[in-house]
Amino acid sequence: MSGLPLQWNLDRTVESAVQTLVGILKAASSDNVQGLALIACEKLGSTLAICDQTMKSVRIQAVDAPSSPTSTFLKAKVGFSKNDCANQLATTQAGLRFLALATAMITTMDFYAGAQALEQMLRDEQLPAEETPPLPHLRDILATLRARAEKSNFTKSVLQYQRLVKHHLGQSPRHDRGDKALLVSAAPSPEVVAGLVKVMRSVQRVGDADITGATVRVGAAAPWVIAFVNWCLGAPPSVYFEHDEDALWEQSTVSSLVNVIILKDDIRRPVKAIIHHQLEDITQLLGEFSGKTLKYMVGIDDYVSWLLDDLGFKRYNDVKFNEAQIRSLHEVLSSAIPQILLTVKCGTFGRLSQTPNPVRWASSLKRAASDFYCSPLPAVDVISKSCRTFLQGCDMDLDFCPPEPNRPVHALPLVAIHLKSLTETCECKSCCKSMKRSIQDALGEEWCTKESFFRSLSFLITDIFAFSLYGCDSSLKVIKAQSREKNAMAFQRAIWKFLQNGTLTNPINPMDLLDWARNLAGHGGTKIGKEGLIMTYKAGQVIYPAIFESFELSRQGYLHLYALKGTLKFNKIPYDTVSSPGFPAPVERRGDPAGFPRGGPVSKPLNLLEGFEFSWDVTPLDGKEIHAYMMLREKKGELLFKRDPLILLQSFANTLIMENCAHDYENKLPYEDWECSPCVPWDDHTKAVASASRVNAVAVASSKELR
């Protein structure tokens, strides 16, 4: 009888174990986590009930999916490591099951709550104390998996069930407040997640034991629970409202063994599970109400579909209403956006956008300001493309109309009809008075539905502008929320005012739009003020202004942002922010370079700073933060000049950029210019400011970085 010798099998077994251990240690080292914690998590995975469909989805989307182009800006690296923890876990079925569980928690819960759930699961498995990792180590494991987990589609499922449950609850003027909103948007507690894992494990044993199914009774966090059952078993459960016999939807597959009963009346009751056995039912208390709200990332299509519903422009399964709203939106966006882009001022010279082919040289000196201003947004035709991409799920073939100055939105035909219908039903004091209705039961000015309409429009348009800063990137992940930081709201309020009045007197700050764009991608809430932020990492995306890497000066779209998938690492250590708070004046050494001309005529292009080089001054700090400044250093001297790079973006609103002139670049001026004086970059320009004709010039011809 032929066969392989026992010693050979033993050698292969030992070799395989060693390779696995080496892989775990490499992954732990790559992601700066504890190897013991990674081993414990993989062991836990062997006990989980996760269907093949979900494991395949996680492997394809979170592990095998090609990463976005990497960046080496500031000598930091953005992207994914080939030897990270996610890749190591994906080498085994147990590891892949754990990765699927972690994905559901990471993308919808904070790391600490997820770690608490894992700790409870490991405690339930009765691991030896020396093999049970402490809570901080479990948190670190979840944090390092976040970037890859965000590429999965679990949150898409959560959003789908949130919308379904909300629809079946019914619409009301205050559907975003009170218990209904809490039922739809609440997050599960760690105890509930750990308890659900045990329930799924029991249900998976159907056929091998006397278990016939399970019923979960849940109030707050019901959509998450439904999505989690679907995630674990491969199909959604049958769902009922308490005291209702008709299911919202039923399944004939294995997951029909799980029923979810939604508690409408007292949604804060503890979550319970009833395990159905052949001879008896056993009730288990899974956990208490968490008191927290779900915040998660979704794709652009899912976000816009939810946003239109949340802003009141769309209703679930109401075709007639939706078609009417799409027609009104088409009319508003086609007319209002071009007006806003080409007439709203930002800074001394700027407008938000420009026509596709702006002039390249001045038609006259008087027209220089209007011909050469800079715009934070790309050209109008690019905004049009961005708008179509943003709203592509709405079946809206949008074409911008030529701007009509001073035509307010309320004068548009379809909008006028819509506003009239809102006035007839609005219960605020102003609308009741205008319609000569009793105002005794009026809710107050804050509930005016017409004001809400303009607010919703301004929010949608601001989102479209912010999306265009990312170059119409359809792979961008955005946060499913209307909340924006206070300092970002000024831009939306300005758009709101313009929509109502057709004009806007005061210039807006384009940096507020940059802040809104960061908020849209879930990068709000940093401890650093917006003035100092250069680069941020959150939720699997690294965001920073493109100009800091390319140094391509352009009159169009100077606020263009990169949003790269992956983590941000410097010297193999992960960081969350790159910032430049304040000026490091004590280390600066200023003065005039040797032989630098002060005054005198200018007649040709010059580079008077050839002895200087540009670089980034980068200092890693504790707290996952890096400080970085733009720096000019004299190659053979001691002169040194540092600046916050955000000043570059802030100054564009007050800048004119003159590109290639009509004449040859090397040609001299026909006469010497005595009013133009060479100066160093750190000049305070006092004399030029006090003069009516004097011009200071930092002469750096042919040097893109110095310019």
pLDDT in tens, 413-444: 998 998 888 888 888 888 888 777 776 555 54
Residue 240, pLDDT above cutoff 70: yes
- In the chain, what is the straight-line distance between the N-terminal and C-terminal CA atoms, in Å? 81
Across 636-660, average pLDDT: 82
Q: Residue 10 has what pLDDT? A: 41
The residue ranges of DSSP E strands in 64-188, in sequence order, are: 77-79
Residue 254, pLDDT above cutoff 60: no
The span from the CA of 689 to the CA of 694, in Å, is: 8
The helix (H) or strand (E) run that includes residue 40 is helix 35-45
Find residue 578's DSSP bridge partners: 535, 626
Stretch among 4-18, 78-92, 689-703 having the lowest mean pLDDT:
4-18
Residue 569, pLDDT above cutoff 80: yes
CA angle 160, 161, 167 (to 5 degrees): 95
Q: Residue 153 has what pLDDT? A: 93
3-state SS class at 684: coil
Residue 541, pLDDT above cutoff 70: yes
Q: Residue 373 has what pLDDT? A: 84
Q: Residue 564 has what pLDDT? A: 92
Across 445-462, average pLDDT: 86
Structure tokens at 402: 């030529």
Residue 362, pLDDT above cutoff 70: no
The span from the CA of 388 to the CA of 472, in Å, is: 9
The span from the CA of 217 to the CA of 195, in Å, is: 12
Specify the higher pLDDT residue, 256 or 6.
256
The span from the CA of 77 to the CA of 79, in Å, is: 7
Residue 272, pLDDT above cutoff 90: yes
Q: Residue 671 has what pLDDT? A: 80
- Cα distances (angstroms) measured from residue 489 to each of 157, 159, 492: 30, 25, 5
- Cα distances (angstroms) measured from residue 389 to each of 122, 385, 496: 45, 6, 23
Using pLDDT thresholds of 50, 70 and 90, give the confidence band for residue 519. Answer: very high
Across 519-537, average pLDDT: 79
Amino acid at 657: I
Q: Which residues contact 173 (CB under 8 A, 6 or more apart)?
A: 447
**Distance from CA of residue 484 to its chain's centroid?**
11
Q: Residue 206 has what pLDDT? A: 53
CA nearest to 707, candidates 610, 603, 594, 634: 610
Across 644-652, average pLDDT: 86
Specify the higher pLDDT residue, 633 or 687.
633
Give the number of C-alpha atoms closer than 13 A to the C-alpha of residue 311, restricted to the C-beta side: 26
CA angle 376, 578, 614 (to 5 degrees): 75
Residue ranges of domains in the chain: 23-152, 155-295, 299-524
Going by the DSSP 8-state scheme, the letter that residue 646 receives in this structure is H
Using pLDDT thresholds of 50, 70 and 90, give the confidence band for residue 403. Answer: low
Q: Residue 388 has what pLDDT? A: 87
Stretch among 94-108, 155-169, 381-395, 566-580 having the lowest mean pLDDT:
381-395
- Cα distances (angstroms) measured from residue 268 to each of 117, 215, 291: 20, 18, 9
Give the residue carrying structure tokens 């006259």: 364
Sign of CA dihedral 228, 233, 236, 240: negative
Residue 646, pLDDT above cutoff 60: yes
3-state class percentages of the chain: helix first, strand second, coil last, to nearest 5? 45, 15, 40
Stretch among 18-27, 315-324, 485-494 having the lowest mean pLDDT:
18-27
Residue 133 CB coordination number (10 Å): 24
Q: Report the share of the chain in percent with pLDDT over 90.
A: 34
The residue ranges of DSSP E strands in 180-318, in sequence order, are: 211-218, 238-241, 258-262, 271-277, 281-287, 297-299
Across 34-58, average pLDDT: 92
Stretch among 153-157, 514-518, 532-536 having the lowest mean pLDDT:
532-536
Dmax over CA atoms of the chain, in Å, equals 105
- Per residue in 286-335, pLDDT tens? 998 888 899 999 999 999 999 999 998 988 888 888 888 888 898 899 88
Specify the higher pLDDT residue, 378 or 205.
378
Please give the backbone phi and psi of residue 323, each rounded to the nearest 5 degrees, phi first: -65, -40
Q: Residue 221 has what pLDDT? A: 92
Highest-confidence segment of 110-114, 402-406, 693-697: 110-114
DSSP code string of 530-593: GGGEEEEEETTEEEEETHHHH----SB-TT-EEEEESEEEETTEE-SEEE--S--GGG-B--PP
Stretch among 122-136, 382-396, 414-428, 619-633 having the lowest mean pLDDT:
382-396
